[in-house]
Structure 1
Amino acid sequence: MSWGLEVLALGEDADERTIKRAYAQRLRVTRPDDDPAAFQRLHEAYQAALAWVQQRPVPVEAASAASAHVASGPEPALEPAPAAAPAPADRAFADAPPPPPQTVDVAASGHGILARALQLEPGPLRDWLAQQPELWSLYSKPAIGEVVLAQLCNHVPPLSMGISEVLVETFGWNDLHSGIDPYALHAHRLQMHRSWVVQPRNHGRLAELLRQNGLPSTVTGARDHLSWLSRPWKAWQALLTSLPPMRGRDLNRTLDVLCIDDATDAPAPLRAQQVDFWLRIGQRDRMSVVRGLQGLLRGIASGLVLSALILGYGVLKSSEPDAWPMQRFAELALWALLALTVLGALAPPLHTLLRWQSCDEPATPRGRYPRLLLIPLLAVMAVVLIHVMDLRMAGTALAGSALVLALVRFWKRSRLEVHFNGWLLLAALPLLKLTVMMVVVAELALVATLVLWLWDGWRNVRGQWA
C-alpha cells in the first residue's frame, strides 16, 4: 500500500476519483498560505497515491467468470503469501521517499498565465490559477512568478488593476520576504492600469477612471477622447477639432488622469503628435504657435457666424420701406468679422499675460523683476503719452489696460472669494459710475493701478516676513 493512501486515510481499493475527492477535502483545511510545508507534503502524497493506483496490478478476484470456464482441470491451490510486517505509525511519511519535483516549463507557464490574464475577469482568473498544478509546488511557483513579473515590468501586456491584484496575491509579491518594493510595485500597477484603459475595448473603464478622479465623463466622451488622441496626425484637422471652448481643457484633464505630461510617455495606441498638440493647447501660461492659430481660427469662425446673422437680418428687413440698404448691413458684417478676428488673435497672448502676472513671484531675480515692474512701466508710458506726447486717447487705452492687469493680478494673488448678495447689488451702481470715470479720466485709472500694485507688493513682502 502506498504511503500517499495512508496520508489521505484511504484503503487499497481506492480509485482515482476517490483519491481526488479526498485530496480536495484536505485542501479545505491545508492551505499553501497557512502552512506551505504541510501543503507540499499533502500534494506529494496525492501524487504518490495516484501513481500507485495507476501502477497497481489487477487482483485475481477480479478475473471474469468466462476465464474460469475456459480453464481445464482443477485450479491449483494458491499458497498464501507471507504477511508483511505492519509499518509503524511514525513512518507514515518515511516509508517511501518523496517524489522528485516534476519538471515544469517555467517560461511557458508564465506566458500561459499572462495569456489567461488578458482573457478573464479577476474572479475567474483567481479560480483558474488555484487549479493549476504547477502553482501548487513550492519549487516552480516562485520561478513562474519571476517570469510573470519580468513581463509585467516591460508593460507586456498592460493589465487592469483588478487582474494585477490577483497576480500579486497569487505570487505573494506584497509579502515582506518577497524583496519587492511595495510602493514601486503599486506605482507600476497604476501605470499599467492607465495604459490598459486607453485600449480600444476599454472605453467604459476609462470613463470610470475619469469619474473616480472627479471628472464628469461618459462612455461616449471617453471614446471621443481616445479617438482624437489616436487618429493619424493632420494639423488642420486637429486645429478644427480644438475650436470648441472646453475641448482642450477636457483633453488635458484626461491626459492628467493618465499621468501623461510628455508625448514620449504616450502608450499605444495614442499617437505622440496628437498628444503633443493637445498638451501645447493646454499650456495656458506659455504662448505657442498652435494656441495662436487656435485663437485666430476661433475669431474667424465667430466672425463668420455673426456676419451671417447680420446679413440674414438685413435680408429680412429689406422688404420694409424705411430699412437700411444692404450695403450698410454688408459693411457692418465686415467690421464684425474683422473685430472678432482681431479679438480672437489677441485672446491667447492676453490670456497668457494675465496668467503670467497672476503667478507667485519666482525665487530667482531674473524672472521676478520683469513680472514685478511691468505694471508701473505701463503706467509711466501712459503718463508720457498723455502729458508729453499729447496722445490722450492712446494713453487712456494704455492706462485702462494697466488697470485691468493690476486688478486681475491683485484678485488672483490674494485669492479673494465674492459671495453675491443684496448688499453687493446696491454697490453695483457706484462701482459702475467709478469705472466710467476711470475710463474718461485716465489719471484716476493710473492712481487706482498704482494703489492695487503697491497693495499687492506689500502683502507679498509681509507674507515673506511672516
Structure 2
Amino acid sequence: MNWAFELLGLRPDADVADVKRAYARLLRITRPDDDPEAFQRLHMAYKIVLAHISAKATAAIMPTPTVVTHAEPTSRPPVQLALPTHADTTNVTEPVVHLGTLTNEIIRAAIEAQNSEELSRWLKNRPEFWSIQIKQQAAQLVLQRLFQQPQAIAAHCMDAMLKFFDLDHVLSGVNPVALQSLRARQRTLWELRPENHHELARRAGLMHNGRPEVLRVRKDLALLQHPLNWARVTLAAMQSKRAHGLAALVRTLSNNGRLDELPASVNRQHAMFWFRGATGGPLLTRERFILHSLRAGVWAFVTMLAVVVIAMMSAAPDGVHWSEVARVAGILGGGILVLWLLIAGFWWFDLWQGMPESTPSRWPWLRRLAIPLLCVLSFAMYETGNAPYMRWLVMMCFIAAMRKFRRRIAGNGSFFARITASTPAFIWISVWIIAALSRAQGMEDFPLIPILALATFAMSIADLWRHRAYLHPRLARN
C-alpha cells in the first residue's frame, strides 16, 4: 500500500481530488507508448489508492468486519452484512466474515454461473468485498484452493473472476504460466460435463458438416475412461477415422500433449496409447507399431478367411483340398504380415539414418556406413547372379541415401529438396516404373542397378563431407 502513495507522491491523508491531480500530473511524463510497464504500475497505484480512500470513507459509517481465517464447512449459510437500522451505533456488534465459507461460495458461484456477466454482477454485489483486505485475502484463498483441486469452471467465468480480483496482469504476483495451465485444466473439466460436450468436440476438431459430433465425443470418452483392452483397441484401430479422432480428443484433454494434465476420469495408459499411436508424424513409436501390426493382423486373418470361404463355395465334386487351401491362405496371410514388417523395418531404418549428426547414438560409425555397406553387399550378390532379387535392395539403398541426404542438407528450399520430399513408397514405385520401362523398350543391357549403386555412394560421400566436423577435429578446422 505504501508504495502506491509514494509512487503518486501523496500523503496517507490525501483525498480523492489530490489523487486525481497527482495521477494527471504523472500521466504527462508516463506514456503507455513509451513505457507500458511504468504506465501499468502507475495505473495500478492509482486504483489502489482510490480504493483505499473509498474504504476509509466506508469505514467511517460502517463498522469494520472481523476476519476469521480458518475454514468453515460449506453447509454453513453465508453471513450477511447489514447496516444498523437506528441511529444509536454504540452497541452495534461487528459482523464476522468467515473466509473459508466465503471462498467456498465464490468457487460455487463460478461453477454455477451461466456467463461471465452473471458472475461479475454477483461478485460486485457482495458487501464483504468493500474491504480491500478481505478482497485480497479471499483472492489468495480462492487461487490456493483451485491450484490444489481444479474445478469445472468455464474459461470466460475464470477470466471474469481474475479480473474482479485484479489478478489478470503480471503485477499481481501470480505465475502467469501456472495460471494459464490452471485455466486450461478447469476449462477441460467444464467441457467434460455432458451439457458442454459440443464445446469439447468443437475444440478437438470433431466436426461434421459444420456441426460438432457430440455422440462421437461421448462414445470416445467412454472408451478412454476404461482400462486398455486389446479387443476394444483392435476394433477401434480398424476404424482409421476413429483412431485419429481419439488421438485428437486426447490431445485436447491433455492441453496439447501434456499427458500429466489429463483429467482423473481418463485412463492415462489408454490415452497415452492413442496419443502416441494415432497422432500424425514421421516417428515410428512403439504404440504406432502395435497399432499398425493389429491392422495388418486383422487384414491377414480376413484374407485367410476369405480364401477358405471361396474354396468352400467353389468346391470340386471330390471335396475341398484343405491342404491346398491352407497353403494358399498361409501364403497370402503371411505375405501381408511380411510386407508390413518390411515396411516397418524400412521406416525405422529411414528414421535412424535421418537423425542429425549432433544426436548422440550408440554406434555412430555404423549409422554413417550402413547404407554404403549394405549397397556393396547387395550389388555384389546381384552381380554374381545368385540372387537377382537383390536389385530391389539396391533400389532401397538408393532411396534411403536420397532421403537421408535430403533431410540433412541445409537448403530445404532447393529443387533437390522439393523433388525428394515425397514418401519412400512413391520413390520406390518411380524407380520400379523406370526399370520396367527400360526393359519394355528392349533395353535389357541398360545399367540401371550400377547407376543406382554409384549414385548411392556419391550421396553417402557427399553427406559425410558435409558433416566432416563430426568425424575428426582436424577436418573441422579445415
TM-score normalised by L of structure 1:
0.65
Q: Measure, in 2, the Cα distance between the counterparts of 1:442 and 1:411.
A: 21
Name the stretch that deviates more: 133-142 or 157-166.
157-166
Match of 2:297 among 296, 300, 323: 300
Alpha-carbon RMSD: 4.5
> Partner amino acid for 1:373?
L
Q: Measure, in 2, the Cα distance between the counterparts of 1:429 and 1:144.
A: 69
Q: Which residue of 1 is the match for residue 6 of structure 2?
A: none
Q: Which residue of 1 is the match for residue 455 of structure 2?
A: 448
Q: Which residue of 1 is the match for residue 339 of structure 2?
A: 343
Question: 3-state DSSP class of the match of 1:226?
Answer: helix
Q: Which residue of 2 is the match for residue 165 of structure 1?
A: 159
Matched, 1:395 2:426: no
| Residue 113 of structure 1, CA deviation | 0.8
1:291-344 per-residue CA deviation (whole Å, 9 max, x = no partner) reads 44433331232234445666777788889xxxxx99988865553222113223
Q: Measure, in 2, the Cα distance between the counterparts of 1:200 and 1:44.
A: 46
Matched, 1:55 2:53: no
Match of 1:352 among 345, 348, 351: 348
| Residue 393 of structure 1, CA deviation | 2.6
* TM-aligned CA distance change 1:355 to 1:154, over 3 Å: same
Match of 2:107 among 109, 114, 120: 114
Match of 1:207 among 186, 201, 205: 201
Match of 1:143 among 127, 137, 158: 137
8 Å contact kept, 1:40–1:138 = yes
| Residue 111 of structure 1, CA deviation | 1.0
Match of 1:374 among 353, 370, 374: 370
Question: 3-state DSSP class of the match of 2:167?
Answer: coil
* TM-aligned CA distance change 1:176 to 1:376, over 3 Å: closer
Match of 1:228 among 223, 227, 246: 223
User: What are the equivalent positions in structure 2 for 1:125-140 lying under 5 Å apart?
Assistant: 125-140=119-134
Q: Measure, in 2, the Cα distance between the counterparts of 1:224 and 1:453.
A: 50
> Partner amino acid for 1:160?
A
Q: Measure, in 1, the Cα distance between the counterparts of 2:465 and 2:150.
A: 56
| Residue 387 of structure 1, CA deviation | 4.8
Matched, 1:407 2:402: yes
> Partner amino acid for 1:232?
P
Q: Measure, in 2, the Cα distance between the counterparts of 1:429 and 1:152.
A: 59
Q: Which residue of 2 is the match for residue 285 of structure 1?
A: 283
Q: Measure, in 2, the Cα distance between the counterparts of 1:329 and 1:353.
A: 36
Q: Measure, in 1, the Cα distance between the counterparts of 2:104 and 2:369.
A: 64
Matched, 1:244 2:248: no
| Residue 254 of structure 1, CA deviation | 4.0
Over the matched positions of the two proteins, sequence identity in percent amounts to 19
User: What are the equivalent positions in structure 2 for 1:85-100 lying under 5 Å apart?
Assistant: none
| Residue 449 of structure 1, CA deviation | 2.3
1:114-161 per-residue CA deviation (whole Å, 9 max, x = no partner) reads 112111132211111111111222231111111101011113325332
8 Å contact kept, 1:287–1:348 = no
8 Å contact kept, 2:303–2:332 = yes
> Partner amino acid for 2:127?
P
1:351-390 per-residue CA deviation (whole Å, 9 max, x = no partner) reads 23323333433343646433322211211221343356x5
1:161-183 per-residue CA deviation (whole Å, 9 max, x = no partner) reads 22221121111113565322334
* TM-aligned CA distance change 1:409 to 1:201, over 3 Å: farther
* TM-aligned CA distance change 1:311 to 1:395, over 3 Å: same
1:19-42 per-residue CA deviation (whole Å, 9 max, x = no partner) reads xxxxxxxxxxxx987831343255
8 Å contact kept, 2:119–2:161 = no
Q: Which residue of 1 is the match for residue 66 of structure 2?
A: none
> Partner amino acid for 2:238?
L
Q: Measure, in 2, the Cα distance between the counterparts of 1:36 and 1:413.
A: 62
Question: 3-state DSSP class of the match of 1:174?
Answer: coil
How many residue pairs get aligned? The number is 379
Stretches of structure 2 that go unaligned for 5 or more consecutive residues are 1-45, 64-80, 421-428, 440-445, 470-475
* TM-aligned CA distance change 1:50 to 1:148, over 3 Å: closer
> Partner amino acid for 1:432?
I
* TM-aligned CA distance change 1:173 to 1:218, over 3 Å: same
8 Å contact kept, 2:162–2:168 = yes
> Partner amino acid for 1:188?
L
Larger Cα Rg: Structure 1 or Structure 2? Answer: 1
8 Å contact kept, 1:158–1:196 = yes
Q: Measure, in 2, the Cα distance between the counterparts of 1:177 and 1:400.
A: 63
* TM-aligned CA distance change 1:308 to 1:375, over 3 Å: same
Q: Which residue of 1 is the match for residue 97 of structure 2?
A: 104
> Partner amino acid for 1:299?
A
* TM-aligned CA distance change 1:445 to 1:230, over 3 Å: same
Q: Measure, in 2, the Cα distance between the counterparts of 1:147 and 1:176.
A: 19
User: What are the equivalent positions in structure 2 for 1:30-69 lying under 5 Å apart?
Assistant: 35-41=50-56, 43-44=58-59, 47=62, 51-52=83-84, 54-55=85-86
Q: Measure, in 2, the Cα distance between the counterparts of 1:354 and 1:110.
A: 57
8 Å contact kept, 2:205–2:248 = no
Matched, 1:123 2:121: no
* TM-aligned CA distance change 1:107 to 1:229, over 3 Å: same
TM-score normalised by L of structure 2:
0.64
Question: 3-state DSSP class of the match of 1:169?
Answer: helix
8 Å contact kept, 2:237–2:294 = no
Q: Which residue of 2 is the match for residue 269 of structure 1?
A: 265
| Residue 446 of structure 1, CA deviation | 1.7
> Partner amino acid for 2:418?
E
* TM-aligned CA distance change 1:363 to 1:411, over 3 Å: closer
Q: Measure, in 1, the Cα distance between the counterparts of 2:437 and 2:93.
A: 95
